[in-house]
Structure 1
């Protein structure tokens, strides 16, 4: 085996990668990382992280047992990229809603092929970047021209994701977005989310009315809230504590479908709501962003354990 230097290798030639390789998952092409300190897998469709773990742990992310890896189909679990709009187009502010030409939720990025831009490796970390340029496509779905660049940084410490959007149009671009992180738990009723106490939120299940969070977030059924904060959050389950540190975000979406909605969701186990929660680093509701020509904005999250 050849020696591995701490100096990163940035070549896209797979033969020069030490830890990264091409892989087919279902019908989708992916890049898979087998590093001595961690493992990861990203599908090119959606730039979708479906696995991250250290060698001795299970997946840090929840992935549905019924997830289907098919062209044009959103993957249930992992970290979908919701872009260039989040949620129901009709529930977005007019600056975003008026430029969307489809009723589909969460934008088109999660079902679109992204371009692999770079792979950088060292003895301690791996960084992978992918891009999506909408300049010449998607006019049937969206009146916008933008470049999205997503970078995944993996290390023994955890996983950091940074999604940078640059406006390529000659007019301002308004967007909402989210890194839709699914986390696992053995028991949702014995799970809580810390860090949102005293913050305001929109309860989408109660006519989008505002409320104030009192203490930790507990899950007692369907939950769908947009919190007006992007602070450090800690998801505590019977197994572990997961810290999520957002940046470029002043909103957090907390979601669990509960028992009734679970029966209606695609690619979702009927009792799957008991074993997952979503903590989404977002620019949603009033936290949407407007970019002038050539301007960029980065939304990101660092996920750690402990």
Structure 2
């Protein structure tokens, strides 16, 4: 089921209860800012390709669970939906059930709050430990930004950070801004930047700029499959890699640990400048 959010100024977001997923973001007076694969399958148990998938309680294959955990493939429930004077807001919820406890034996509640208005989109993920034992998790908001020409894209704000290159399986230091030049090897990009915390990132393509800010999330992931890997993804068109760049708020390096009754909140805010 899809949920349409429309702010009074015309800004819109589309959400899916399948996976608690943001599918679309159109700021006031502007076009679509997220990439959604035309080959996505909206079927139970399968993740939607594009938009903003929720990775929880495990990032990628860094653990024993299915890739990126189970939150992005399960049905969520709509808690609330409202229009304010400046924005529109919806809250979706996922609670533990027999299926999740078989994979991950914890009592929890996740809430995803999505707020759209003006030229910004705020996506907030909250986790409550409802059990009587500690739990720990890694997580990400796996945001696919739409781009027209990947060769014209740069990401500012990462300089000086250490990152783990998941392709080369090695750590390295980001010495300057990230320029996506379309050369083979540069584009097969899968990096976890550690210690980003609240430093703002700026994704620039020609005259279009999207500011990316995060709170509660320590790390950030920058991902593009490049042409060869993209060709192997059944739910992506072969040229889809050239139309997207993932910039993801994440907690990976240090898993979040919650004692019984504790809560955690992380947010990613996108603004079209």
TM-score (norm 2): 0.93
Question: Residue 171 of structure 2 is aligned with which of 206, 210, 213?
Answer: 210
Partner of 2:183: none
Match of 1:44 in 2: 17
Distance 2:105 2:232 in 1: 31
| d(CA) in 2 for partners of 1:264, 1:118 | 38
1:1-306 matches, cutoff 5 A: 29-37=1-9, 38-88=11-61, 91=62, 97=63, 100=64, 102=65, 104-207=66-169, 209-219=170-180, 220-228=186-194, 229-230=196-197, 231-238=199-206, 240-284=208-252, 286-306=253-273
Q: 1:147 to 1:180 in 2, by over 3 A?
A: same
Residue 55 of structure 1 deviates from its aligned partner by: 5.0
Q: Conserved in 2, the CA contact under 8 Å of 1:167 and 1:294?
A: yes
C-alpha distance in structure 2 between counterparts of 1:55 and 1:157, whole Å: 6
Q: What whole-Å deviation, never above 9, does each CA across 1:54-88 have from its counterpart, x for those lacking one? A: 35322111111222222222111100011111110
Does 185-194 or 253-262 show the bigger shift? 185-194
**Structure 1 gaps, min length 5:** 1-28, 92-96
What's the C-alpha RMSD, in Å, of the aligned pairs?
1.4
Q: Is the 8 A contact 2:25 2:32 kept in 1?
A: yes
Distance 1:279 1:105 in 2: 18
Contact 1:251 1:287 in 2 (8 A): no
Higher relative contact order (CA 8 A, sep 6+): 2
Total equivalences in the alignment: 265
| 8 Å CA contact retained: 2:58, 2:68 | yes
Provide closer, same or farther for how the CA distance between residues 39 and 298 of structure 1 changes in structure 2, counting only shifts above 3 A.
same
Tell me the secondary structure at the aligned position of residue 261 of structure 1. helix
> Greater shift after overlay, 73-82 or 48-57?
48-57
8 Å contact 2:220–2:250 — kept in the other structure? yes
CA shift digits 1:222-243 (9 cap, x unpaired): 0000001132111111351001
Residue 50 of structure 1 aligns to a residue whose secondary structure is strand
**3-state DSSP of counterpart to 2:100:** coil
* Segments of 4+ moved more than 3 angstroms: none
Q: Is the 2:12–2:117 contact (alpha carbons within 8 Å) kept by the matching residues of 1?
A: no
Q: Secondary structure at the match of 2:229?
A: helix
Equivalent pair of 1:52/1:159 in contact (CA under 8 Å): yes
Q: Which has the larger radius of gyration?
A: 1
Matches of 2:38 and 2:95, distance apart in 1: 32
Report the TM-score, using the length of structure 1 for normalisation: 0.83
- TM-superposed CA distance for 1:171, in Å, is 1.2
Cα distance, 1:126 vs. partner?
1.0
State the alpha-carbon separation in 2 of the partners of residues 217 and 44 from structure 1: 34
Contact map agreement 1:173 1:292 (CA 8 A) in 2: yes
